[in-house]
Amino acid sequence: QKEVEQNSGPLSVPEGAIASLNCTYSDRGSQSFFWYRQYSGKSPELIMSIYSNGDKEDGRFTAQLNKASQYVSLLIRDSQPSDSATYLCAVKGGTSYGKLTFGQGTILTVHP
Amino acid sequence: GAVVSQHPSWVICKSGTSVKIECRSLDFQATTMFWYRQFPKQSLMLMATSNEGSKATYEQGVEKDKFLINHASLTLSTLTVTSAHPEDSSFYICSAKRQVRAEAFFGQGTRLTVV
């Protein structure tokens, strides 16, 4: 079992729709959770961080965390073509200082 | 936000030569820096973790004598790929974090091509 799992997609949504990206993790002691966006040929860019159960909203992005289910998700409202990218879920484990474990990423395509 | 600068953004070198990649945190002190490698259509693979003033911790399967990491100051870490071969061609990315914060910020990445 992979430590951090994402559906690789591709996930295709129409412009203006809600894109829902999901991630599960295996380490129950994990403390910190991040979503990064990576455009093709570029390095990842941090878009959301979440540390406690519940929802965290930032503009069109909402991160949701459920530690009991070991599940974290990212919702993108009013999706735009410019949101088309690979979204990486990253988890900081309970024991490894600072080290992030990445999922394989979900490719999102927003079509006009 | 925190800014991490990586240089060069791309490099082409001959097989057998060495290449040095620099990673700098421009507006914060990075107690820890991470080096990743990413092959096309694959996720990030952590190569090593470096803490300022101490030896880097390498992930299993990463040759420490081939990938030399130096973290001499709180704002600079370097990765040297020694005796590069075509199979070392990849996208190398650094990230840096502050001691009291969990977020890590990435440099722009370096695309290495060994011919």
For A47-50, which contacts have Cβ atoms below 8 Å and span 24 or more sequence positions? A47/A74, A48/A74, A49/B102, A49/B103
Optimal mutation site among B6, B43, B58, B91, interface A, most CBs of chain A within 10 A: B43
More confident residue, B95 or B1: B95
Strand, helix or coil at A83?
helix
For A22-81, give the secondary structure using H, E and C. Answer: EEEECCCCCCEEEEEEECCCCCCEEEEEECCCEEEEECCEEEEEECCCCEEEEEECCCCH
Query: Model confidence at B15, in pLDDT bands (50, 70, 90)?
Result: very high
What does the pLDDT look like over A84-94, one tens digit per residue? 999 999 998 76
Chain B contact for A77 (CB, 8 A cutoff) = no
- Report the alpha-carbon distance of residue A8 to residue B25 in Å, rounded: 31
pLDDT in tens, A16-59: 999 999 999 999 989 899 999 999 999 999 999 999 999 999 99
End-to-end CA distance of chain B: 37
Question: Where does the pLDDT of residue A69 fall: very low under 50, low under 70, confident under 90, or very high at 90 and above?
Answer: very high
Residue A44: what pLDDT?
Answer: 95
Work out how many CB contacts closer than 8 A connect A with B.
51
**Which pLDDT band holds residue B103 (cuts at 50, 70, 90)?**
confident
> Cβ–Cβ of A32/B93 closer than 8 Å?
no
C-alpha distance from B44 to closest chain A C-alpha (Å): 7
How confident is the model at residue A94, as a pLDDT? 66
**pLDDT tens track for B48-94:** 999 888 889 999 999 999 999 998 888 999 999 999 999 999 999 99
pLDDT band at B43 (very low <50, low <70, confident <90, very high): confident
Give me the pLDDT at residue B1, please: 66
Task: Give the CA distances from residue B62 to residues B47, B58, B71, B105, in Å, rounded to whole numbers and listed in that order.
Answer: 6, 6, 18, 22
In three-state form (DSSP H/G/I as H, E/B as E, the rest C), the secondary structure along chain B is: CCCEEEECCEEEECCCCCEEEEEEECCCCCCEEEEEEECCCCCCEEEEEEECCCCCEECCCCCCCCEEEEEEECCEEEEEECCCCHHHCEEEEEEEECCCCCCCEECCCEEEEEC
**Residues of A whose CB is below 8 A from B46:** 99-101
**Nearest Cβ partner for B107 among A43, A46, A92:** A43
Whole-number average pLDDT of chain B = 92
Confirm if B70 and B94 have CB atoms less than 8 A apart: no
Residue A95 predicted with pLDDT over 70: no
On the question of pLDDT at A65 being above 90, the answer is yes
